[in-house]
Each structure stands twice: as structure tokens, then as C-alpha cells.
């Protein structure tokens, strides 16, 4: 069966520090991959999605970036974090067509 792993679960970082969040999917090949951010008590904001290795689409301009170095690996990065980057980050995947998205357990990011 397919599983999605996301880490770390919790992260506390100072303003201006770099960021790297990782997401991997097992049990499937060539998935669509997504990064979302969820501010406290709010809905989901799509940040990036990828339909294949090296193919990244950005939904909103920001100081975050994403990369997909391998088929089932999706990385969210920043060179210098801002206070406004705090939130709950969720990775998701789905297969081709209008298949349901499946979510990781999320990373709680706090910026100090």
C-alpha cells in the first residue's frame, strides 16, 4: 500500500535561518506531489505542486522554493525564514486523473 512520510513533525527556527522540509512517498510511482500551508485556524493554501522530477509549479510568490530531485521525494526550502512563514505545512500526493489526495502528518513550523 502507499504511504507518505513527512518530517520533521515539529520545527522551531529563528528568523533568517534556512529551512528544509522533506516528503517521501512509498508504494507508487510518478505521483503528483503537493505542498500546502495551513495558518492557525485557517484553510489550506497550495504552495507548490509537481507532476514529475524537476517539474515544479508555484502558486504564490514567496521566499519558499520546492524541488523534486527524485520521483517520490519532494522538498520545501527557504534560504531565510520570515515570521510570516510560521504555520502547519502539509505534503500530499495523488495519482493521475482526479484521484483523491493523500496527506502526510504535517510539520508544525514556528519562527521565533
Candidate ranges 14-22, 63-71, 73-81, 89-97; the one touching another protein (CB under 8 A): 89-97
Among 13, 22, 44, 58, binds another protein (CB under 8 A): 44
Place of cell 520546492: 66
- Residue 98 C-beta: closest distance to another protein, Å: 4
Note whether 43 binds another protein by CB under 8 A. yes
Joined together, the cell numbers standing for residue 108 give 508544525
Cβ atoms within 10 Å of 18's Cβ, excluding its own: 10
DSSP 3-state of 82:
coil
The closest of 36, 37, 32, 20 to 76, measured between CA atoms, is: 20
Please report, as ranges, the residues that interact with another protein according to CB under 8 A: 6, 32, 34, 41-44, 46, 49, 90, 92, 94, 96-98, 100-106, 108
Amino acid at each position: 500500500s502507499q504511504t507518505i512520510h513527512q518530517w520533521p513533525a515539529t520545527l522551531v527556527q529563528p528568523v533568517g535561518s534556512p529551512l528544509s522540509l522533506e516528503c517521501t512517498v512509498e508504494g507508487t510511482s510518478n505521483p503528483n506531489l503537493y505542498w500546502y500551508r495551513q495558518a492557525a485556524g485557517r484553510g489550506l493554501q497550495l504552495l507548490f505542486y509537481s507532476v514529475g522530477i524537476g517539474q515544479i509549479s508555484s502558486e504564490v510568490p514567496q521566499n519558499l522554493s520546492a524541488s523534486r530531485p527524485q520521483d517520490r521525494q519532494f522538498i520545501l526550502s527557504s534560504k531565510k525564514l520570515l515570521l510570516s512563514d510560521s504555520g502547519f505545512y502539509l505534503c500530499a500526493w495523488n495519482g493521475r486523473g482526479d484521484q483523491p489526495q493523500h496527506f502526510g502528518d504535517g510539520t508544525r513550523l514556528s519562527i521565533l
